Each structure stands twice: as C-alpha cells, then as structure tokens.
Chains A and B, each alone.
Chain A
Amino acid sequence: MVILRIVSRAIAAAIFFAAAPAFAADNYQTDIGPTPKNGRQGANVQGRGTVLATLDNNKFSLQGKFSGLSSPATEARLHVGNVMGGTGPAIGGLKIPQAQSGEISGTFTLTRDQIAALKLGKLYVMLDSQSAPKGNLWGWFQPEHVTVPPGVPQMDHWYIPNILEDESNDPAKKRNS
C-alpha cells in the first residue's frame, strides 16, 4: 500500500513536472499528513495526500490528491506559517471535493514576501474535514526532491529541510541536501 502510494506519487510528479515549462519554474512538493492529535482524537484525524506545485515567476500552481479521511473534507487552504513546521494565516482557498478522497488544486499570485516564505518552507496546505474541522491534513512545501519507499536506503546524500542560516548561506558546508 505504501509502495503503491510512493510509486503513484512518483508518476504524478513526473507527469506534473514534465508538463511544467523547463525554464524559470521552481517545483515544490509536500506530503500532507495528519495534524496534531492525541490518542483520543486519532479516529477523527486520519488520511494522507500529496501535493505538487510549481512557482512560475509569481504564479503558484498546485495540484494533488488526498485519501483515507474518516469523514468528508470540508475546506482546504494555502497558508503561510511563522516558521517551517509552524502555522499562520491563510493565503487563499483550494479546490477540493466534499469527500473522503479526491483531488486538490489551486492557483495563486504570490507576493514577494510570500515567495520568500515559500523558499523558506513556510507555505503549507491545510485540509479540514467534518470530523476534524480545525485541521485534518497538513504539510509544508519543500523544493522538489527524491522520495523513496520505506526501508529503502538512500546513499551519500538525501533531503532534510534546513533552516540554519550558516549552512544555507554557505553551499560548501551544506549537507544532506
């Protein structure tokens, strides 16, 4: 099941990124997973999805899928958080079906600050559902990177988001990415 998810995500990424222009566009991706919960809330906060996106100048286009919700989705939005892994105000709404699975899409014209926030990993998708009206799935956009099935080793280098200024300013010392 997980391998299927990874493979389908890779195919979707290939199609999506292949359709994007080869110049000037930056590709992003996020795996949207369950929002914070404790054991009691677990049944209401289920599901997973993948959203791919392209930034072409200031046009941010995103498209993805979600499934496995324990109740129909109600609303999804693009947000900008205070930090990668943090929350913040909505930029705008995303198109989703009122269903437990389906596609998610949207297009935005980002401001300069929002583009800067995107490059710092602060932009995230939030999807609500009937049983989790304050957040069911979320995920922060990352630059396009390789993902692998569980248990499959990656050799020599791999992607880990990094907010450390020293490292990001000195490519020679940048590791793991």
Chain B
Amino acid sequence: MFKGRGKVSMGAFAAAVALSAAGAAGLWASHALAQPGVVAGPFTEAQAQAGQAVFTGRCASCHEAGGETVRLISSGFTDVWRARTTRDLYTRIKTTMPFGNPGSLSEAETASVVAYILKGNGAAAGATAFTPATDVSINTIIAARRDAYAGYVSLSGMPAATGITFPGTVAKYTPVTEEMLLNPPAADWLMHYQNYAGWSHSPLKQINTKNVQNLQLRWVWSLDDGERQQITPLVHDGVMFVSTAINNKVQALNAATGDLIWENSLGPRLENQVNATARAMALYGNQLFYPASDATIYALDARTGKVNWKFKISNYGRDKVGGMMIADGKLIAGLGVCDEASLQDRCFIAAYDVKDGHQLWKTYTVAYTGEPGGNSWGKMTNAERSGADAWIAGTYDPKLRLIYFGTGQAKAGQNGIGDKLFSNATIALDVDTGKLKWYHQTAPDEGLDLDEVYEKILVDNGSQKLLLSAGKPGILWKYDRTNGQFLDYVPMVFQNVFTSINRKTGRGTYRADILKPEPGNSRPSCPAQSGGHNWPAASYVPEDDVIIYPLMQICVTSRGDMIGNFEAPASDGYLGRLSAYRVKDLKPVWTLQQRAPFLTSSMTTAGGVGFIGDWDRTFRAFDVKTGKTLWTTRLGTTAQGFPTTFTVDGEQFVAVPTGYNGGSPQIRPSSMFAFERNRPLVGHAVYVFALPKAQ
C-alpha cells in the first residue's frame, strides 16, 4: 500500500509505518494509532486480550488469513460502523457469528471480541468492562483512526491526483453497436463473457493446439496494487481497457504494444479490503462504463477517458456496483454488498439509459411483506431482510428478451426462517420492464453462504433452450431458460450439504444437522464459503458442446477449537479442479486436479485451446478436448481475473490479469498454504502473450 518510491512527507511516512505495522503484526499493532486524549473505550484491556484469543480460535479462519488480510481493521469497518453503537456491533456478532454456528459465542466471548475489534481500530481500553448493554457511539471512540487515514498522500508526496492523469485520444474508434454485441467481432472482446450467452469463448483460432507451446510474453502492464483484482481486459479496435479497484483508475492501452493511451483517476482511493472489485466494465457506443467502488457508475468517453456522466446507484453504507452488462442498448447493473439490516440497503438489479444514466427500471431481489415471495422470510421485518446481491454480470437472450442474473445468499444467514426469496437463485427478468419472468432457487433457507450468483451460460441444444449454472455447492444445474423448468444436475465436487435432490423439482434436502445442529458435534460444510464454484467463470466450447468449470475442493467446519478450512474428502490434497462436461447430457468428459486452486475464469477458443490461471502463479493452455496441458508459464503473482483473447492487425493475443488480493476463493487457500507455498504480495498487472512474430 505504501511502497517506498520518491519523497514521502513525514506525516504520511508515520501513517504508512503505523499502517504497515498493523497489517504485518495483526490487530494488536494498530493500537499505536490511538492518540493521547482519546476518550477511553467502554472495555478493559483484559477483555481485549481475551477477545484476541476468541478471535483467533473462532473468527480468524474467515476474517484473517495468512497474515495478509486484517479485514476488520480498515475503513471497511469504520465506514460501516462509525455511525452505529457498540451495542449494534455486539448484537451483530452475537446473532450472526461465527459462520455456520451463529449464537454459539457466549456473552462474555462476544463482549471480548467487540473489545478486541474496537481496540484494533484505535479505541483505548478503559476501566469499565464491556457488557451486552453497553451502548456507546463507535464514532466517539475510534476517531483517532480516521484521523490517521485522513493524511494519505500519493507516493510522490503530492496529494493523489484525480481526473485525467494521462491525456490522450484513441486514433480510430468505431462505436460499439447492439448489432456488434449480438454478433461480437472475433477480433474484439467487447463484453465480460465475450458474448451475450456467457460463453467466455472466442472464435479465434490462430493460436491452436499445434502452436500454442510457442506462446511468448509480448508485454506486461503493471496495475496499482491493493484491493481485489479480478478484471476483464476488454478490447475493441486494438484498444485494451483495464482498471484498478483500489483507486478507481481506468486506463486505455494499445493492445498490441501495451502503451498507455489515456488514464482517468476517478477516485476515491480506498484503504484495503472493502470488497471493491471491478470485474465487469461494459462498452457501448463511444462509451466505456466503469463500476466504481463507491457505488457510482461512470460513463467515460472510450476515446479520451473523459467523464460523460456519472450516477450513484446507492448512497448506503459500503454498497458497490455489482454485476454490470449492456443488453438491448441498456446498461444493466446489480447492486452488491447490500447486506446490512436496513430499509435503505435493499439489493436490486436495475436498467439505466446509456445516454445519461437515468434509471429505466429497478427490480428488487429481496421480497418485502406483501410482495410476491414476501412470505418466505418468516417473521423477519423488512428492515431485517437483506442480501441476495447480484454481484456478478448477467447474460442475455435477445430472442426471448430475457436477461439472466444470479443472486447471493440472504443476510443474516440463518436456517429455519423460510426460503428467503430471491436469494441463492437464478432469475430471469424481462429486459424491457425488469419484471421477474421466472426464478429457481437452489439453496433456500440456508446459513452456509451458498451463493448461486455466478455466470448463467446459455446454450441451444436442438430446439432446447438451456441455461447452465453452478453455485458454491459445486452442482451443475441445467434449466429450460424459457420458463425456468429444472431439467438435470450433476455434482462436480464433493458436497455434504444436501442429502438428496428432487429430480423433478431440483430442490435439495439439507443434511439434518445443518438445520438442527447436534450439540458437541462438528458442523462441516463441503464446499466451504469459497465454493465448489465461485466467480472464476466457466467457458462453453460450442465446437465440442463442452462446458469447462474451474472448481475448488475446500471444506470448512466449526466446532470449538476445530474451526477452519480443510481439504475435501478424497481430494488427495488437490484444492483445484478443472472439469469438462458435455452439455447435451451432462456426461463427464475430462477432469484434472492440482494443489493450487484456479483463480481465473476458463477462457477457450475455436483453436481448441483453453486458458486458465491459478493461485500459484501458473498460467496454462490446455486442450479443450482432453484437458491435456499444452503450455505453461509463471507470472509475477497469482493469476486472477478473466483472461481474454483478441487480434490486432490480424495477430492473436492472449491477456491474463494477476492480483494477490481477493475474497474467499483467494483467502481460504492462502490460509491453507501458509508455510507451504509463497507468492509475492505485490504484482497486480495484465500480461499479454502472442506467438513469435515469424509465425
């Protein structure tokens, strides 16, 4: 975050040292930020110390991993909690934590964890012990930490610049039309998944199974480190568009050479770990749409980077722009991280006019009382209902005029309430009105974080119009996308959450002890929250009718001191799996496993070659028919994001992003790899490969 380069003011240096120390040494180091004169917090030193032990045993496996993330010590915490009270924080932890076994912390344990977190964020211990009734405004006791962050300056010692920080103009740029999005030019990668059907597949075949072993690095472009780096390098007319979530910087590069054409530093810059991830930008007309981390959608002139318009889709808390796409000339976006218990924080999918950003329609993904599905939340008040984030970009069938999105888990995650519609579901919306056409929920009424939000892949099999989807349970579901009828499924990894799945309805039956925990017994969940499948998207190879899924084989359990992540049974220590299934009948075609999980999407081409990258810095090409590895290279740090391929002047290139930060698919293996494998905690970049010039 604060790399040594150039002059740095003493104030900034002091802040940097303090913050680096906090990151390196864990929560305790941050108490150095507390300043004399700060009002003593409503907890004792002994409570904070006891809280450290509880946090380590019961919380750290999710909230801290490998010494590289301190997720509760940042503006990610203070932004959300400074306007609330210590009693709110206590209640939140007591009723929702730890994962998988909420309510199992005693009052004293919960109070100590509150004390630990408050102290970590700069509050000073006092003489009064924290109790469940303690009700103090958090902002009054952690102000010192906010002050420390307020002194941020750029690495050059000057205040971080915003706006156009590198002016330039794309020499030749053709406006992106709906027709181009309906039939994407092979030379370009115009949208998140390459086409509306979500295939992550290119018709290019210059790089093929016979010559892919000759791939060479053509250029690399470093991106600003920090935050989750899971971008999709979009390419149009020989221009590549990339972004960095840490500071909301958008850049246009010459896709053949890696030269910078223009740069717009939109800001704001964020401290670490606030769930900002700009996976999917979108192109339409002469505009590039960017989902900023402060829930603002920017429409930039793709030729110059200048802002045409911007629109903040939510003003609440830490909300983010989730999945974003163009469909039928509209900008469609889901709201993400909308998981607070508040009437102001209600997840939705909405359509916006590309001309000025005005809202065309909005559909909420959380059903309130009196609405369709409203009875599925039991006795929860509307304010208590949250989650069902649409944080992954959707797909689109222009003939049916339906867009397909997924939704995440309901918050707070508890069993025994009701189905909690429309969480953990695949949903189809009318592109003209946003009206819900159908939904299918794969994990109703769950408390294990079983997102079904991921890519919805559309395939026609004869007259059948299919939709393929896989969520965290790692089960591949097949539907009729005209009406949502469940057709078939196949488990792609070991799961022990469901004991049966109704073959007519697709509804699963949870293991009995998930709904009613057995006292004293473990409560394992396979897969863990990292998911059997997560955001690294599958690709569909139409030439072979094969769908290829990046998968992960990690479980999590909770029982006293036995909480944490572990290798799934029969995984033989292989956390990563890549599996191909024939769409027609879901027949297994091939699979391969390895120690490191895959952390890029699968990207395939008509040349019969697929590409995928992993945690351990390997980027590989594989034969889509057999899974056989055809070529590998090692990158600077974890390959993470969405590889793309494109041509410039007839020459095919392959791009892959790298980034070391991320959510549970990155955090959990990082925790399990500690003391086993290493990768640099710097190195966000995009690497571009091509065949030697002579070929």
User: A residues bordering B, Cβ < 8 Å?
Assistant: 2, 30-31, 33-43, 46, 48, 81-88, 121, 134-135, 138-140, 142, 145, 147-148, 150-167, 173, 175-176
Chain B 587-618 interface residues, beta-carbon cutoff 8 Å to A: 587-595
12 more CB-based (< 8 A) A-B contacts, given A87-B559, A153-B626: A31-B572, A33-B566, A36-B563, A39-B60, A85-B494, A85-B557, A86-B523, A86-B557, A152-B592, A162-B491, A163-B495, A175-B586
Q: Is the CB of A34 within 8 A of B574?
A: no
Q: Is the CB of B64 within 8 A of A38?
A: yes
User: B residues bordering A, Cβ < 8 Å?
Assistant: 56, 60-61, 64-68, 490-496, 498-503, 511, 513, 518, 521-524, 526, 555-557, 559, 561-574, 586-595, 626-629, 670-672, 674-676
Q: Which residue of B lies closest to A142 (CB)?
A: B570
Q: Is the CB of A87 within 8 A of B522?
A: yes
Q: Is the CB of A33 within 8 A of B496?
A: no
Indicate which residue in B60, B500, B569, B591 contacts A158 across the interface (CB closer than 8 Å). B591
Q: Which residues of A contact B60 (CB under 8 A)?
A: 38-40
Q: Is the CB of B675 within 8 A of A153?
A: no
Q: Which residues of A contact B628 (CB under 8 A)?
A: 153
Decide yes or no: A40 and B499 within 8 Å by CB, A86-B522, A87-B521 being known contacts: no
Q: Which residue of A lies closest to B557 (CB)?
A: A36
Q: Is the CB of A153 within 8 A of B590?
A: yes
A139 to B573, CA, bound (A): 10
Q: Is the CB of A82 within 8 A of B522?
A: yes
Indicate which residue in A33, A38, A151, A164 contacts B629 across the interface (CB closer than 8 Å). A151
B287 CB, nearest partner CB in chain A, Å: 42
Q: Which residues of B contact A48 (CB under 8 A)?
A: 573
Q: Is the CB of B592 within 8 A of A151?
A: yes
Q: Jot down 18 A-B pairs with beta carbons below 8 A, ordered by A.
A: A31-B571, A36-B562, A36-B563, A36-B566, A37-B564, A37-B671, A39-B674, A83-B524, A85-B526, A85-B555, A121-B569, A140-B570, A153-B628, A154-B591, A156-B588, A161-B494, A166-B502, A176-B491
B166 CB, nearest partner CB in chain A, Å: 38
Decide yes or no: A150 and B595 within 8 Å by CB, A37-B672, A42-B675, A82-B518 being known contacts: yes
A154 to B357, CA, bound (A): 49
Q: Which residues of A contact B590 (CB under 8 A)?
A: 153-156
A151 to B626, CA, bound (A): 12
Decide yes or no: A155 and B567 within 8 Å by CB, A38-B60, A38-B65, A134-B562 being known contacts: no
A173 to B503, CA, bound (A): 10
Q: Is the CB of B627 within 8 A of A153?
A: yes
Q: Which residues of A contact B671 (CB under 8 A)?
A: 37-39, 42
Q: Is the CB of B563 within 8 A of A155?
A: no
Decide yes or no: A142 and B594 within 8 Å by CB, A161-B494, A175-B586, A176-B490 being known contacts: no
Q: Is the CB of B511 within 8 A of A164?
A: no
Q: Which residue of B lies closest to A2 (CB)?
A: B595
Q: Which residues of B contact A86 (CB under 8 A)?
A: 496, 521-524, 557
A2 to B501, CA, bound (A): 36
A155 to B580, CA, bound (A): 9
Q: Which residues of B contact A165 (CB under 8 A)?
A: 499-500
A10 CB, nearest partner CB in chain B, Å: 12
Q: Which residues of A contact B518 (CB under 8 A)?
A: 82
Indicate which residue in A30, A38, A158 contacts B564 across the interface (CB closer than 8 Å). A38
Indicate which residue in A46, A88, A135, A163 contacts B675 across the interface (CB closer than 8 Å). A46
* Highest count of chain B CB atoms <10 Å: which of A38, A135, A138, A151: A38
Q: Is the CB of A85 within 8 A of B589?
A: no
Q: Is the CB of B494 within 8 A of A36?
A: no
A103 CB, nearest partner CB in chain B, Å: 19
Q: Is the CB of A151 within 8 A of B566?
A: no
Q: Which residues of A contact B56 (CB under 8 A)?
A: 38, 40
B73 CB, nearest partner CB in chain A, Å: 15
A2 to B588, CA, bound (A): 26
Decide yes or no: A163 and B64 within 8 Å by CB, A87-B562, A175-B490 being known contacts: no
A82 to B567, CA, bound (A): 17
- List 8 A-B pairs, minimum CB-CB distance, nearest first: A36-B564, A153-B627, A42-B674, A39-B66, A150-B594, A87-B522, A39-B674, A165-B500
B468 CB, nearest partner CB in chain A, Å: 15
Q: Which residues of A contact B555 (CB under 8 A)?
A: 85
A145 to B593, CA, bound (A): 15
A150 to B595, CA, bound (A): 7
Indicate which residue in B493, B556, B564 contacts A160 across the interface (CB closer than 8 Å). B493
Q: Which residue of B lies closest to A162 (CB)?
A: B491
A41 to B66, CA, bound (A): 10
Q: Which residue of B lies closest to A173 (CB)?
A: B503
B568 CB, nearest partner CB in chain A, Å: 7
Q: Is the CB of B569 within 8 A of A161?
A: yes
A41 to B675, CA, bound (A): 10
Q: Is the CB of A155 within 8 A of B573?
A: no
Q: Which residues of B contact A158 (CB under 8 A)?
A: 588, 591
Q: Is the CB of A34 within 8 A of B557?
A: no
A160 to B495, CA, bound (A): 9
A126 to B570, CA, bound (A): 15
A89 CB, nearest partner CB in chain B, Å: 10
Q: Is the CB of A151 within 8 A of B594?
A: yes
B672 CB, nearest partner CB in chain A, Å: 7
A22 CB, nearest partner CB in chain B, Å: 25
B518 CB, nearest partner CB in chain A, Å: 6
A2 to B677, CA, bound (A): 14
* Highest count of chain A CB atoms <10 Å: which of B498, B565, B587, B588: B588
Q: Is the CB of B61 within 8 A of A160?
A: no
A139 to B513, CA, bound (A): 21
* Highest count of chain A CB atoms <10 Å: which of B563, B573, B626: B573
Q: Which residues of A contact B61 (CB under 8 A)?
A: 36-38
Decide yes or no: A142 and B588 within 8 Å by CB, A36-B564, A163-B496, A164-B498 being known contacts: no
Q: Which residues of B contact A85 (CB under 8 A)?
A: 494, 496, 524, 526, 555, 557, 568-569
Q: Which residues of B contact A175 (CB under 8 A)?
A: 490-491, 586-588
Q: Which residues of A contact B511 (CB under 8 A)?
A: 83
A30 to B38, CA, bound (A): 56
Q: Which residues of B contact A138 (CB under 8 A)?
A: 566
Decide yes or no: A147 and B567 within 8 Å by CB, A36-B557, A36-B562 being known contacts: no
Q: Which residue of A lies closest to B595 (CB)?
A: A150
A70 CB, nearest partner CB in chain B, Å: 8
A49 CB, nearest partner CB in chain B, Å: 10
Q: Which residues of A contact B670 (CB under 8 A)?
A: 39
Q: Is the CB of B491 within 8 A of A164?
A: yes
A43 to B67, CA, bound (A): 13
Decide yes or no: A147 and B572 within 8 Å by CB, A39-B674, A82-B521, A165-B500 being known contacts: yes
Q: Is the CB of A33 within 8 A of B562?
A: no
B643 CB, nearest partner CB in chain A, Å: 18
Q: Which residues of B contact A140 (CB under 8 A)?
A: 569-570
Q: Which residues of B contact A139 (CB under 8 A)?
A: 569
Q: Which residues of A contact B492 (CB under 8 A)?
A: 160, 176
Q: Which residues of A contact B524 (CB under 8 A)?
A: 83, 85-87
B516 CB, nearest partner CB in chain A, Å: 12
A121 to B524, CA, bound (A): 14
